[in-house]
Amino acid sequence: MSRKTRIVWLAVPLFLALLDLWTKAQAGPYPCGGEAPPPGKVVIQDWLEIRTAWNEGALFGFDWIPPWALVLLTGLAVPLVAWWVFHPKTADAKENFGKLLVLGGALGNLYDRLCFGKVRDFINFYYGSMEPGPGGQPAAHWPTFNIADSALVAGVILLLLSSFLQGPVTAGGKAA
């Protein structure tokens, strides 16, 4: 891999991580301790709202993993994915770009975990109505997320697509 390619590839995850951190800062104040989150800013009625929230768990609010373990896992994953990015066994563009998206998303959320012990989220999608229904939650609400989460999910989807579109692997380790 040429030096120019490495520089471009390094720029993609760094750009994503910086974009993630910048958008989190622009989203507004995050609640401290037991404070209630500030009111959200409706961007598109009954569809999109910017509302800051802390996520102490993993993607989509899975909170069964302790925060220290998430820091450890992400801290180990970042150099492994970076190695995987810069030592490719394939020239598949979808796979390589997927790796870069995963790396950028991991960097953005790792920064938050190291600085705050949790991740700042702010993007809320709704379907139908944003008004609370039974139980106090809107009837159809996607878990709150951020740019890093979006990059991680898109990267994993690209990696899966690349894997499925490659075809079966032969005994020599190459796609048939």
In a domain, 98, yes or no: yes
pLDDT at position 36 is 76
Measured between its terminal Cα atoms, the distance across the chain in Å is: 24
In a domain, 103, yes or no: yes
pTM: 0.79
In a domain, 144, yes or no: yes
pLDDT at position 81 is 86
In a domain, 154, yes or no: yes
In a domain, 123, yes or no: yes
Rounded-to-integer distance, Cα 144 and Cα 50, Å? 9
pLDDT at position 109 is 93
In a domain, 72, yes or no: yes
pLDDT at position 23 is 96
In a domain, 172, yes or no: no
Catalytic residues: 121, 149
Q: Which two tokens stand for residue 116?
A: 């705050």
**Domain span including residue 86:** 3-165
pLDDT at position 19 is 98
Rounded-to-integer distance, Cα 165 and Cα 175, Å? 10
pLDDT at position 162 is 85
How many domains does the structure of the chain reveal? 1
Would you give per-residue pLDDT tens digits along the chain (176 residues)?
677 877 888 899 999 999 999 999 999 888 887 777 778 888 877 788 898 988 887 765 566 677 788 888 888 988 988 888 877 666 677 888 999 999 999 999 999 999 998 899 999 887 766 666 666 665 577 788 999 999 999 999 999 998 887 765 555 555 55
In a domain, 7, yes or no: yes
Reported as type and span, the H/E element at residue 48 is strand 48-55
Report whether 56 contacts 118 (CB < 8 A).
yes
DSSP state of 141: B
